[in-house]
Structure 1
């Protein structure tokens, strides 16, 4: 299958491209390159690449592909809160436009990276795909809007599927340090503290980046009726843990580290436990990585590759890195590229 992966130079895309290639797919990437240089260790071998801002994609650039895997987004809540208008422009409007152009170009499958954060403040009960959506941030709201708008254009020749990923964790050559497990392990390696700014009580579902990539591979290969206009939660019930429990797994992994729960950020209203049985029962998909295994992997990779404090807090933190690109004149206020390179 000929597959276009948007955001292939991001955290998830860098893991997903080689997995899809190993599965026999012919993969092309599409990316503007915000995070191309955010690499810990050696840069991965690139696939054929279309370099374009998501907001400027043309239908002819999508012609000839059997499927689009759409990962590209401004992807975290702090960034979305800082720049909600740009978040909606890129994450919502440009994503729906991409889907419409893909349909126009004859693409038959559109795999969209949504998020379990669409469930918002869901409490202690397990939420499945039919639960009410209660997004609490511009990032999560943009994902809900894309699901609604892209579902509206589905037909016999165009099958979207919405993969609601749990919070990602695990090593990627293009690292992110601003997601919970990756952040806690990195902070512990660099400072000796596992530092939690909330009160530690919110529930979080987690899933390894490799397991997310495997879920997309399953949806590429599943019969079209199985995935047509469906939403699937991606993760495993085993990894539904409180932030404090996640932090304790890090303490158990990083030698000599200590747990510090400051509570300075107050209670986090985003709390949800997720039911992942639909993908397991209908697609035969099951996430494999546990949180302790992921913490061990991160500790091993961070120490082997020489993670530094500057890289951790700047290069591998999305908000800080984009601010740096703006300050250096690489991006303008609309996050459009002014010149190449940082």
Structure 2
């Protein structure tokens, strides 16, 4: 098997590339480097710079590298930006996927793993969210992920692809400081950023019907997420693989925003009382993954806890922001 990982130089993509190559899989990466970093990739992994919107380039990579399966992570993923630029998000995330799938079908590639998101659920009706929960995304980003799932499954049925859609919950942590998240869009680096600047972390809403009044979320270590990709890819590579698989990727354990803020303060040595601000529209009180399906289907469960996520993320933050270590 040779796997093409789109977006493989990004935060999650690089972890997937490392997990798959460490397990003996041959990997090729396609990335436009808009947010990816070539230095994140394992030694010897070919990197092709370009976009999935470039069908000629994609077709050349599929044929030239003898690709037998695709792990598709390349996408735009900022919720706020998707609200401001819906056309851009639909072009990049949905049209880009369409172009990629056209090339995949024409090349005879028969395995396709799609990076989806818990954003497809919108505001869940239940605290524990199974894959059968209604999908009602509340922003263009979530809409593009749900549209992508539909497209992947339909293409699989029509053209005989074995497909999988992985719905990630909240990703954090790092397998090594060099692979850490360089953005300040997810909650852990957002807390780090404010504490480094001497500001209190912000919590949006403390009057939810939860034990401490703040939102409860499911956090998954990015290294566990990468291991899940490997497990699903190997399921798709099995000779008997067919049909489609849709699974949540999480721990099935809820952590409140206040608990997370307290843990960040402890680990960084900068314990600061958070500033409570108004609720954000669309935030669910609680969203925790039901993870029994992936455990049953693949025997996979997450192995790392939230303390390890925060600690490893802080090591990566200090690598890029050494001034944060100065008190």
- The TM-score, its normalising length taken from structure 1, stands at 0.81
Contact persistence 1:159–1:224 (CA under 8 A): no
Deviations 1:299-332 (A, max 9, x none): 23323443568xxxxxxxxxxxxxxxxxxxxxxx
CA distance in 1: counterparts of 2:318 and 2:152, whole angstroms: 42
Contact persistence 2:9–2:41 (CA under 8 A): no
Name the structure 2 match of 1:279.
Answer: 294
**Secondary structure of the equivalent of 1:122?**
coil
Name the structure 1 match of 2:247.
Answer: 232
Name the structure 2 match of 1:35.
Answer: 35
Going from structure 1 to structure 2, the CA distance change for 1:123 and 1:132 (only over 3 Å counts) comes to closer
CA distance in 1: counterparts of 2:310 and 2:194, whole angstroms: 12
Name the structure 1 match of 2:305.
Answer: 290
Contact persistence 1:112–1:163 (CA under 8 A): yes
Structure 2 residue aligned with 1:207, among 212, 220, 244? Answer: 220
Post-superposition shift, 1:190? 4.0
Going from structure 1 to structure 2, the CA distance change for 1:84 and 1:307 (only over 3 Å counts) comes to farther
Name the structure 1 match of 2:203.
Answer: 196
**Secondary structure of the equivalent of 1:295?**
helix
Structure 2 residue aligned with 1:164, among 159, 163, 167? Answer: 167
Name the structure 1 match of 2:133.
Answer: 131
2:249 equivalent to 1:247: no
CA distance in 2: counterparts of 1:249 and 1:241, whole angstroms: 11
Name the structure 1 match of 2:26.
Answer: 26
Q: Is there any run of 5+ residues in structure 1 with no aligned partner, and where?
A: 310-342
Name the structure 2 match of 1:322.
Answer: none
Instruction: Tell which deviates more after alignment, 103-112 or 256-265.
Output: 256-265
**Secondary structure of the equivalent of 1:121?**
coil
Alignment RMSD, CA only? 2.4
**Secondary structure of the equivalent of 2:275?**
strand
Name the structure 2 match of 1:219.
Answer: 232
Contact persistence 2:169–2:250 (CA under 8 A): yes
Post-superposition shift, 1:45? 4.8
**Secondary structure of the equivalent of 2:201?**
strand
Contact persistence 1:109–1:158 (CA under 8 A): yes
**Secondary structure of the equivalent of 1:154?**
helix
**Secondary structure of the equivalent of 2:227?**
helix
Map 1:1-342 → 2, pairs under 5 A: 1-37=1-37, 44-45=41-42, 47-58=45-56, 59-63=59-63, 64-155=66-157, 157-171=160-174, 172-173=179-180, 175-191=182-198, 193-199=200-206, 201-222=214-235, 223=238, 228-238=243-253, 240-264=254-278, 266=280, 268-270=282-284, 271-307=286-322
Post-superposition shift, 1:187? 2.8
Post-superposition shift, 1:76? 1.8
Post-superposition shift, 1:193? 2.8
Contact persistence 1:43–1:173 (CA under 8 A): no
Contact persistence 2:27–2:46 (CA under 8 A): yes
CA distance in 2: counterparts of 1:307 and 1:77, whole angstroms: 29
**Secondary structure of the equivalent of 2:95?**
helix
**Secondary structure of the equivalent of 2:274?**
strand
CA distance in 1: counterparts of 2:259 and 2:126, whole angstroms: 15
- The TM-score, its normalising length taken from structure 2, stands at 0.85
Going from structure 1 to structure 2, the CA distance change for 1:93 and 1:183 (only over 3 Å counts) comes to same
Aligned length: 305
CA distance in 1: counterparts of 2:94 and 2:268, whole angstroms: 39
Going from structure 1 to structure 2, the CA distance change for 1:267 and 1:142 (only over 3 Å counts) comes to closer
